[in-house]
Amino acid sequence: MEVESFASRAADIVANVERVILGKRREVELAVAALLCRGHVLIEDRPGTGKTMLGRALAKSISGEFHRIQFTPDLLPSDITGMTVFDQAKVEFRFQPGPIFANLVLADEINRATPKAQASLLECMDEATVTVDGVTRPMPQPFFVIATENPIEYHGTYPLPEAQLDRFLLRLELGYPAHETEVAMLTAQQTRHPVDVLAPVIGGEEVLALAERVRQTPVSDVVKDYIVRLVGLTRDHRLVSLGASPRGSLACLRMAQCWALMHGLAAPREDEVKDTAAEVLAHRLIVSPEARAQGLDPRAVVQRLMDETEVQVA
């Protein structure tokens, strides 16, 4: 697949989602990139900022089965993965799949569920399989999880553990819309919601083909070296208590590959790594007391680390 064809198809998805999510082009592009990287997205923001709508719009833009799981404190792991039940008619046990078995799953308000329920997503997000009663079953392909959460300072929430956060390719924040955008939103939703009439623009097989094209994109040793040095700095810096794992390095690589293709480039440069590093790495870090004393959040720390990481000349 030519670079121009990839960029065109990715732009089609972005444009379709933007019919619902107004004024947030970068966030929409990042979510589409995560889909084409076969990663997962965590959207964290205040209630009412469009987190769920972004998930629904992206789900409707691809042809595939969509399930929404509303996470609540009483949600059980079997409510997500499914369970073995006894079929009295056939006098045998059979597996009843849970809502996680879909092409695109919206895990709504994931941090309202207990850690035990959250942990039921670990295997399927990392290995695209679910194991119930000793039997491992593959997930349908493509498989994409969009999780939304409210900030942990809101009552009734459970912070996601580091192992869970590390499974997300990137984390997004939408924020409140600008004045003009909010006016346009009121007009667009005056009679009906745009998401209700949104049509798909791409099929599951083509999503997989685009994802394979991402993986085949060449990456220079210079860019790989830059990624490893940047991620390595998160593990040995006074502003970071816990740095990113090698999964973070791979996430930087995948996003750089896809970001380059989406913007018409045959191969990523260090600039593509820098453009997406905050969304890819910030949620994987625990900042140090020194960083907190300076008023630096994880995104600001990532930016500081990029400022300190020199680009090597080939």
In this structure, of 44-53, 98-107, 151-160, 238-247, the range with the lowest mean pLDDT score is: 151-160
Cis peptide before 177 (omega within 30 of 0): no
The whole-number pLDDT of residue 153 equals 58
The whole-number pLDDT of residue 56 equals 85
The whole-number pLDDT of residue 282 equals 95
Task: Give the span between the Cα atoms of 284 and 298, in whole angstroms.
Answer: 9
C-alpha pair distances (Å), 41 with each of 89, 136, 159, 190, 225? 41, 24, 16, 29, 26
Percent of the chain with pLDDT over 70: 97
Return phi, psi of residue 274, to 5°.
Answer: -65, -35
The whole-number pLDDT of residue 65 equals 85
Mean pLDDT of the chain: 90
Nearest-CA neighbor of 305 among 249, 237, 246, 250? 237
pLDDT beyond 80 at 156: no
The whole-number pLDDT of residue 248 equals 95
Task: Give the span between the Cα atoms of 7 and 101, in whole angstroms.
Answer: 29
The whole-number pLDDT of residue 84 equals 85
pLDDT band for position 313 (50/70/90)?
Answer: low
Task: Give the span between the Cα atoms of 249 and 256, in whole angstroms.
Answer: 11
Q: What mean pLDDT do residues 39-44 have?
A: 92
Q: What residue ranges do the domains of the chain occupy?
A: 3-209, 217-308
CB-CB contact of 66 with 59 (8 Å): yes
pLDDT beyond 60 at 314: no
Global confidence as pTM: 0.90
Architecture per CATH, 3-209: 3-Layer(aba) Sandwich (3.40)
pLDDT band for position 164 (50/70/90)?
Answer: confident
Classified by CATH at the fold level, domain 217-308 comes out as Helicase, Ruva Protein; domain 3 (1.10.8)
| Whole-number CA gyration radius for the chain | 20
pLDDT beyond 60 at 299: yes
pLDDT in tens, 62-106: 887 889 999 999 999 999 999 888 777 777 888 899 999 998 899
Nearest-CA neighbor of 146 among 169, 166, 120? 169
Q: Do domains 3-209 and 217-308 have the same CATH topology?
A: no
273: CB partners within 8 A, 6+ apart = 223, 226, 227, 230, 252, 255, 256
Sequential DSSP letters for 249-287: HHHHHHHHHHHHHHTT-SS--HHHHHHHHHHHHGGG-EE
Q: Which residues of 27-49 are buried (b: 16+ CB within 10 A; e: fewer)?
A: bbbbbbbbbbbbbbbbbbbeeeb
Q: Hey, how many other C-beta atoms are within 10 angstroms of the C-beta on 16?
A: 21
pLDDT in tens, 180-217: 999 998 998 888 888 888 899 998 899 999 999 999 99
The whole-number pLDDT of residue 160 equals 84
CA 233 to chain centre: 23
Q: Hey, how many other C-beta atoms are within 10 angstroms of the C-beta on 160?
A: 24
pLDDT in tens, 238-287: 999 999 999 999 999 999 999 999 999 999 999 999 999 999 999 999 99
The whole-number pLDDT of residue 188 equals 86
pLDDT beyond 60 at 223: yes
